[in-house]
A = this chain, B = another copy of it.
Amino acid sequence: MNIPEPLELLIEELSKLPTIGKKTAQRLALYLLRSDQAYVDKLTEALLNIKIKLVACERCYNISLDSLCDICKSPKRDHKLICVVEDINDIIAIERTNEFNGHYHVLGGVLSPLAGKDADSIRLKELIDRIRNSDVTEVLLALNPDTEGETTSLYIAKLLKEFPLRISRIARGLPVGGNLEFADEATIGRAVLNRIEL
């Protein structure tokens, strides 16, 4: 038996999604086939709506319902502090902590020569224009603590040298609730170097 074309097509489209392999796609497609019409309708409507209703904030490139996102519009947020992140995912993660009250800037990637990402393909020019035309006093770099993130952080720090700014980076150290015994040397090393006086 060949899988009927409509199902085969859905499996194909689903398996293009990240973390979804061919087998999971098949499982999802069969689940959707069995589930009621109301659910499939709600899912397709939700899918179409993100494209219709959401745009990128014209200032920080966060997702937004209007030309400016909730964070950029809020009078309660400190517009002198900009947190630079790779992706919208990272904004959601940082917002969940309730520890940051500034604005954001979404780069849309990090420098990665192997993946063909250079300084022009991430939003660095937009960041510099934004800093030039505002009274920003601190830029917090919140990129992933991996090679590409570190490289990008150093590159941005160097680029921003010309402005009278405080440039900071999120701390490296032991994860809260973690265990010293099981942490890797690089992390413990950073935690020792970046020790904080009590």
Contacts and interface: CB of A to CB of B under 8 A. Distances in A.
Interface of A: 1-7, 9-10, 12-14, 16-20, 24, 26-33, 37, 39-40, 42-44, 46-54, 62-65, 69-71, 87-89, 91-92, 95
List of 9 A-B pairs having minimum Cβ-Cβ separation, nearest first: A10-B46, A6-B49, A44-B44, A6-B53, A1-B95, A13-B43, A9-B46, A13-B46, A6-B50
A24 B13 contact: no
A32 B32 CA distance: 18
Contacts of A47: 10, 32, 40, 43-44, 47
Given A1-B70, A28-B18, A31-B17, A6 B43 contact: no
A88 B26 CA distance: 11
B33 A54 contact: yes
